[in-house]
Structure 1
Amino acid sequence: MFPSRAGKVLLVAAVAGVAVAAPLSTVTLDYGTFTGLTDATNEIVYFRGVKFADAPVGALRWQAPVSPPTMHLGNVNATQYAAECIATTQTTTSSTTAEDCLFINVFIPIATTATSALPVLVYFHGGGFEGGTAAGAPPENIIQNSAKPLIFATVQYRLGQFGFLGGTPVANNGALNAGLLDQKAALVWIQRYISKFGGDPRRVTIWGESAGAGSTMFHLVGNDGANGNLFHQAMGDSPSLSFLPHYTDSFVEDLFTQFAGFAGCGSSGTGDAIMACLRAAPVNTIASAGSKILGNRTSSLYPLAPIADGKFIATRPVEAFKSGLFARVPVLFGSNTNEGAHWSAGLANPAANTSEANATETTVYNFITGQFSTFTRASFDKAIAELYPLADYNNSFSLQGQQMYGEMRYICSAVLIAGAAHDFGLPAYQYHWDNPTLSSDHGADLNAFFDGTRTFDADDQAIVNAMRGYFTSFVTDGTPVAANAITWPSAVDSNGSPRIFLHPGDLSLENVTEALSERCAFWHGLSGEIST
């Protein structure tokens, strides 16, 4: 591993009397000095809980983040994770969550110096834009399994009603998609400060899973592709192509009205007065109001999510990728076989829960419209008649619904992004995780990266090792390469084929099938109807 080799180089140079830069354990920025945790066993220096913006509280609620922090922080012990952002399911803050949660974690190989100029991998966590935490993405398997040294950073951003409250009052007196703006502020922070940690701001790759991969997608299409050189490559595991209504659409305006009512501000008068009331409300009032939103949306999984704001997201993803309005950078995206499994079973409304014994085609339709409210029955009927006939799923409404949802939201999104990158002359890599032992459900591929020191059986370990090698080499060299694994070629067609097939005992290449291509074309052809 790099730290051991680099450490030896530094030691030899020191013995020989050659002047060398000292490895980093403390970093001084213009607003504070941060001392990390040096772990000789893992050969990593952990800079945890580095504040990158002012606390988004009071007057700064639903405003763009103020970054870098305006107050000098002095000497900061950066050895422990800071507070996590408040999840929408919470009714109050907790000992580990707070509004003041805009922190970045920077993990560097132990021998890194201020002049190392290492490539940087930035990770956005998943959680439906309503939950999750950066602490769920530890760095060991990334840094230790990279053939060449890299820096790994994880970012926290406002969630749910704190980060994605929409509606005209917010647009007129605040910032829409504040959570995405938090992420962008972290990328600007990296451009300004990562060299202090031994990183190269000219070699930044963004990455995420689920909503985190959706985030990388939104940064690709943000500002119609004018990313300001904030990143130079993008990766995504199961990119979430979610319902993206305009902030003035009734779906969003109704959510705002309902939220303001739950927070006790609904009768405050004008939109500005309501916003003033909301900003003055105690944090637990805001937390509780968001939780009540979920309690009243029993057919919806993640109603408080990114929206089309006409500014950062001026063009929705499907149109943006088809028309070339996205950042022209190399991409690596993929998905899992059973992306749509189990989602419906968690819905409280039995009329939208396809696991119910009395489920019907209408139940499947209700499940899908709970996530894409403008999806018409006519389009649904066409889909089940021509593309998803019940007989293909053992007459199981649950299996039929999960296949539709998994493809329209996740699987076809990876196909879209990789295919569009290819069509516009960019390197594009696509994968397909299929694993009956570790699971092929949504998020199962993260076993390869964030499952600690777990030891897998031989076939699974080979897949895990390959994933780690492919992903980290893409970050360091722009091409996914893994030891003792097949060559992963760049896409050669508009479906992003060939995909690398990650199955225990079968690491191979496959093309996106004609049937899947047809189904993806159907969903993407409905982008105007379902606001994707």
Structure 2
Amino acid sequence: MHLFQDLSMWPLVVYQGVLNRLPGWTNDNLTVSIQGATVQGRSTNGVEAFTGIPYAQAPVKNLRLRPPQRITQELGTIDGTGHAMACPQQKPRQEDFAGIMDLMSFLGDSGVTVPVPTEQSEDCLTVTVTRPGGTTSLDRLPVLFYVHGGGFEIGCTEDNDPADFVRYGIDIGKPFIFVAVNYRINGFGFLPGQRVADEGVANLGLLDQRLGLEWTADNIASFGGDPDKVTIWGISAGSISVFDQMALNNGNHSHSLTGRPLFHAAIMSSGSMTPAESVSSEKAERVYERVVQAAGCSEAANSLKCLREVDYETFHHAVSSLPGPLSYNGLALSYLPRPDGKTLQESPEILAREGKYATVPMILGTMEDEGTLISVLQRNLTTTDHLVNYLQGCFFAEASSHQMTELVDTYAQGQACVENGSPFGTGSANEIFPGFKERSAVIGDVIFILMRRLFLKYSAAAYPDVPSWSYMGSFNKGAPVFGTTHGSDTAPFFNGNGTVHAAETLRRHFLNFVYSLDPNESDDRQSWPRWATSQEQLRVFASETSLIVDGYRSRAFEWIADNIGILHV
């Protein structure tokens, strides 16, 4: 079948790497008893997996566009030997197709690819548990709770297979349990609008993740995990979700029924606080109205009720009528977590600055060239003026053109901007069309790299005694076009490749942290200092590791810090 023969079947999770399902799974009557159910699993090569375990009632019919509901009935036997159903994916629009093909033509050997199509359903609120073979309920292993990425509009738990990562933990004597959560995305999970705000049903995807964490707290001991040693981790939108879980309910990360903390540490890979307009802003309301119109609900007395009542195909089509992450709009997303006065009580940068988030040890990192993958899709932005208009028109509606000009000017102008643009450190190379390197630098910094630094600065001021560490991935330095781009870290973690050194370094440090809340070990050749103490990052190259002072592009950082209040997506 041609790669894009059936666009509706392709989740297009370019941020999340290649799907790596291992063949030869066997089922040797592997079962685990949990609350109200028995889960069947599968095993191969020393790893056991239990896929697609429901943690909430199916959010269908009258439960569509409502908070997730706990399962109250007995489920009997759950077949966890197959593949977990994906939540409905944002379908690419026909007008985005040319940009997608541009992106695909540049991917080459970048290590960032499109996964195999996966089945989709509204009945998708499940977790998948992967553990070392032979684990019993007595083992009490630490737990890594993973939130997938995909721009809050695409992605699922099966984008990456954690089996190789779990085997690595066994090999170094630090076995752990990996839990991945499916949550509602795009308009199914993050529909904005005034009616949504009035009914209190915003940020449903975050509430899904939270109920998945509560399921883990209630059931992971049966799989051999320790509910008191849960580290939450995510990449891209999953990383932003980790911060949001820390900031949910102004930092209350306790189980809603038992009051016990749901996690004791956090890892954010390519994403942290993401300032956003409110769920009832003018921009948000335009998204809502577009979905309502596409669903044929414009004349309904209660448009939200109408959206719940239309059939699945109609609602899915309506949700996908807006630009997705693989469009000209890029990361100016239609659907993402927005402050709603309830779950996210204020914009994330305000919650971070005021210390209204869970104070747990944390690791934050980004790739060196976060913006390159995203900036291929706007070929016509060939001048600085074009970029200014794009940032003001698509991303930051609260900013003026003058303010966006000030931001862009911090990256120099003309040939100097090309030479200093992203991929960084490559001179005038990789300027695949005019404006590419300038745009890549600005967007990568303002969404990911320098926003990470600003959160760390807020954190060090609010909670100087809470440990944090930061890293930069540079292991694809010199790779054509993209460098070490957004999503590059999926290969080292999940496939154990990309570079052997990067895979070994990142995995080992993460598992040190999962075990001891410190990524260092006494025999580490390269000590990784706390960020608040040194303001240094661990920089991971293809064959070596070093430290870098986290002060690069200081003019841009100072501008972002001074103007954060207008940088709401």
The TM-score bracket by the shorter chain reads 0.7 to 0.9
Cα deviation 1:108-137 (Å, max 9, x = unaligned): 111211111111100101100000111122
Which of 335, 353, 370 lines up with 1:322 in the alignment?
353
Which residue number corresponds to residue 64 of structure 1?
Answer: 67
Which residue number corresponds to residue 77 of structure 1?
Answer: 79
Conservation of the 8 A alpha-carbon contact between 2:408 and 2:442:
no
Q: Secondary structure at the match of 1:106?
A: strand
Conservation of the 8 A alpha-carbon contact between 2:273 and 2:352:
no
Evaluate the alpha carbon distance shift between residue 145 and residue 24 of structure 1 in structure 2; reply closer, same or farther with a 3 A threshold: farther
Evaluate the alpha carbon distance shift between residue 315 and residue 173 of structure 1 in structure 2; reply closer, same or farther with a 3 A threshold: closer
Is 1:489 matched up with 2:529? Answer: yes
Is 1:431 matched up with 2:433? Answer: no
Which residue number corresponds to residue 202 of structure 1?
Answer: 228
Conservation of the 8 A alpha-carbon contact between 2:144 and 2:230:
yes
Amino acid at match of 1:508: S
Segments of structure 2 that go 5 or more residues without pairing to the other structure are 1-27, 94-116, 255-260, 420-433
Cα deviation 1:410-438 (Å, max 9, x = unaligned): 00232133333333111101001112267
Which of 193, 207, 212 lines up with 2:238 in the alignment?
212
1:81-120 matches, within 5 Å, as 81-89=83-91, 96-120=119-143
By how many angstroms is 1:512 displaced?
A: 1.0
CA distance in 2, matches of 1:295, 1:130: 7
CA distance in 1, matches of 2:553, 2:512: 29
Cα deviation 1:30-63 (Å, max 9, x = unaligned): 2211011122x2x111011101001101111111
Evaluate the alpha carbon distance shift between residue 173 and residue 315 of structure 1 in structure 2; reply closer, same or farther with a 3 A threshold: closer
Conservation of the 8 A alpha-carbon contact between 2:340 and 2:346:
no
Cα deviation 1:224-266 (Å, max 9, x = unaligned): 1121111110001110554511122111111111110100001
Is 1:254 matched up with 2:286? Answer: yes
Which residue number corresponds to residue 422 of structure 1?
Answer: 460
By how many angstroms is 1:281 displaced?
A: 0.5
By how many angstroms is 1:89 displaced?
A: 1.5
Is 1:365 matched up with 2:388? Answer: yes
Conservation of the 8 A alpha-carbon contact between 1:332 and 1:418:
no
Evaluate the alpha carbon distance shift between residue 419 and residue 143 of structure 1 in structure 2; reply closer, same or farther with a 3 A threshold: farther
CA distance in 2, matches of 1:237, 1:295: 21
Which moved further from structure 2: 228-237 or 140-149?
A: 140-149
Which moved further from structure 2: 76-85 or 430-439?
A: 430-439
Is 1:376 matched up with 2:378? Answer: no
CA distance in 1, matches of 2:322, 2:364: 32
By how many angstroms is 1:204 displaced?
A: 0.6
CA distance in 1, matches of 2:555, 2:360: 27
Which residue number corresponds to residue 35 of structure 2?
Answer: 30
CA distance in 1, matches of 2:266, 2:340: 22
Q: Percent identity?
A: 28
CA distance in 1, matches of 2:539, 2:218: 38
Instruction: Give me the CA root mean square deviation.
Output: 2.3
Is 1:303 matched up with 2:334? Answer: yes
Query: TM-score of the superposition, structure 2-length normalised?
Result: 0.81
Segments of structure 1 that go 5 or more residues without pairing to the other structure are 1-22, 347-352
Q: Secondary structure at the match of 2:263?
A: coil
Conservation of the 8 A alpha-carbon contact between 1:333 and 1:417:
no
Evaluate the alpha carbon distance shift between residue 295 and residue 462 of structure 1 in structure 2; reply closer, same or farther with a 3 A threshold: closer
Count of residues in correspondence between the two structures: 486
Conservation of the 8 A alpha-carbon contact between 2:156 and 2:182:
yes
Cα deviation 1:246-295 (Å, max 9, x = unaligned): 122111111111110100001102xxx21221111011101111111228
By how many angstroms is 1:401 displaced?
A: 1.4
Amino acid at match of 1:524: A
Which moved further from structure 2: 99-108 or 143-152?
A: 143-152
Cα deviation 1:289-346 (Å, max 9, x = unaligned): 1111228985354211111111111122222222211111000011111111132332
CA distance in 1, matches of 2:193, 2:511: 40
Conservation of the 8 A alpha-carbon contact between 1:307 and 1:313:
yes
Which residue number corresponds to residue 276 of structure 2?
Answer: 244
By how many angstroms is 1:463 displaced?
A: 2.2
Amino acid at match of 1:72: E
Q: Secondary structure at the match of 2:406?
A: helix
By how many angstroms is 1:510 displaced?
A: 1.2
Conservation of the 8 A alpha-carbon contact between 1:142 and 1:472:
no
Evaluate the alpha carbon distance shift between residue 174 and residue 382 of structure 1 in structure 2; reply closer, same or farther with a 3 A threshold: closer
Which of 416, 419, 431 lines up with 1:392 in the alignment?
416
CA distance in 2, matches of 1:90, 1:196: 40
Q: Secondary structure at the match of 2:230?
A: strand
Conservation of the 8 A alpha-carbon contact between 1:321 and 1:416:
no
CA distance in 2, matches of 1:242, 1:317: 6
1:406-421 matches, within 5 Å, as 406-421=444-459
Evaluate the alpha carbon distance shift between residue 331 and residue 281 of structure 1 in structure 2; reply closer, same or farther with a 3 A threshold: same
Q: Secondary structure at the match of 1:333?
A: strand
Which residue number corresponds to residue 517 of structure 2?
Answer: 478
Evaluate the alpha carbon distance shift between residue 420 and residue 244 of structure 1 in structure 2; reply closer, same or farther with a 3 A threshold: same
Is 1:463 matched up with 2:502? Answer: yes
Which residue number corresponds to residue 15 of structure 1?
Answer: none
Amino acid at match of 2:151: G
Q: Secondary structure at the match of 1:465?
A: helix
By how many angstroms is 1:184 displaced?
A: 0.6
Query: TM-score of the superposition, structure 1-length normalised?
Result: 0.86
CA distance in 1, matches of 2:550, 2:203: 33
CA distance in 2, matches of 1:155, 1:47: 12
